[in-house]
Amino acid sequence: MKRSSMLLWVLLILSPVLAQGQERPTAEVVGDLPTEMEGTSTLFFLDGKLWSCNDHGSLVLYALDTLSGNITDSIVLPRSIYDLEEVTQDDEYLYFGDMGDNNGVRNDLHVLRLEKAALASGAIAFDTLWFSYPDRTDSSAQDFDCEAFVATDTALILFTKQWLSQGGSCYSIPKTPGRWEARRLFDIATEGMVTGACYQPERGRLVLCGYNLFCMPFVYLFDGFSGSDFASGRQQRVELTNGIGWQTEGIATTDGLHYYLTCEHLDAYGITHPAQLLTLDLTAFFSSTSQILSHPTSQSFTIYPNPTTGIIHLPSQGVKAVAVFDVQGHKISDFRNQNSELKIDLRSLPIGTYVLRITCEDGRERGEVVIVNR
């Protein structure tokens, strides 16, 4: 079956799940980005301008008109990049994250550090922060892509983009040049892949953006945390109404309520979508703390292993039943939670992609895509 057709069937299976949940805002289109910006990977404000850059090739910063998406200025930096996915900053430095690793094959993950003053003086010189993940293995390497990070007072905080687990993990490294092992801090139940981060320490807010396997966008909100201990506050995942094909990559704000997003050009699976600049109003989600739901990371929902050779495990707490569908929409089997640990036996199924419809004890449903690969 063609991938595009498979995606449509999966979406039909999950449509009741996708339709449920809290109010879903819409990211409004400002305008299409010029062809020079089709690979947009990040978004940040600097000196009153909104900047972005592409994820590979020559390192060029482009200033975008916030009313049209047109390019108003550019800065060419003397550096080529392999897969640059995020730019963050503190008072003194810009940090360029050349750490994209979609296929889990890189051993040269690094961040380039540049003094902001160098942009005005023209004396461009980069420092390099090399890093690795001590818990990365060959089988889990695709869960260690990273396209989002922020700078705190003492560290760079990295958010992984997990192609296999469809979640995220938070790591830290010192924000000084050297070779570092990233320290794992906590996991995040993003139910999708994180691609951008926007941190406002003065407001105590952190917003991640991303999309799921079907390029359906979401944002993930943190607030009410202590210092830069993001896991100590409230968390909320907010799905956007934009639908399939919105490969959101960068996020930025000036007021902590109204956000800009960039969407990368997409041409895959029978879907074509232009690179665009978007706006997103999150006022309603921050104006009332009652709308920000507690989401303790210790209760993050995980199924494992995925891909699997046959048996997968789910948390028993909170799960009532699981139905298994093939990608043509046919129900294959049902499982009820009757034990301390819920196991789903897929050993009789041929190699392929399947969808789990999980019914929780509170009546809510969610979907998970599982790959059987022997």
CATH architecture of the domain with range 3-298: 5 Propeller (2.115)
148-165 confidence digits (pLDDT tens): 999 999 999 999 999 999
pLDDT band at 338 (very low <50, low <70, confident <90, very high): low
Q: What average pLDDT does range 84-100 have in this prediction?
A: 97
Q: What average pLDDT does range 228-233 have in this prediction?
A: 92
| Phi, psi of 283, deg, nearest 5 | -55, -45
Q: Is the peptide bond before 25 cis (omega within 30 degrees of 0)?
A: no
265-293 confidence digits (pLDDT tens): 998 867 889 999 999 999 988 854 333 33
Q: What average pLDDT does range 97-108 have in this prediction?
A: 96
| Phi, psi of 309, deg, nearest 5 | -90, -5
Q: Would you mind telling me the total number of residues written for the chain in this entry?
A: 374
DSSP for 193-220, please give it. EEEEEEEETTTTEEEEEEE-TT--EEEE
Q: Which two tokens stand for residue 256?
A: 């902590």
DSSP for 264-306, please give it. --EEETTEEE--EEEEEE-HHHHS-GGGS----GGG----BSS
- Stated as kind and residue range, the H or E segment containing 7 is helix 3-19
The CATH number corresponding to 311-372 among 2.102.10.10, 3.30.360.10, 2.60.40.1930, 3.50.50.60 equals 2.60.40.1930
Q: What average pLDDT does range 174-203 have in this prediction?
A: 96
Whether residue 256 has pLDDT greater than 60: yes
The structural domains of the chain, with segments of one domain joined by +, span 3-298, 311-372
Same topology between domain 3-298 and domain 311-372: no
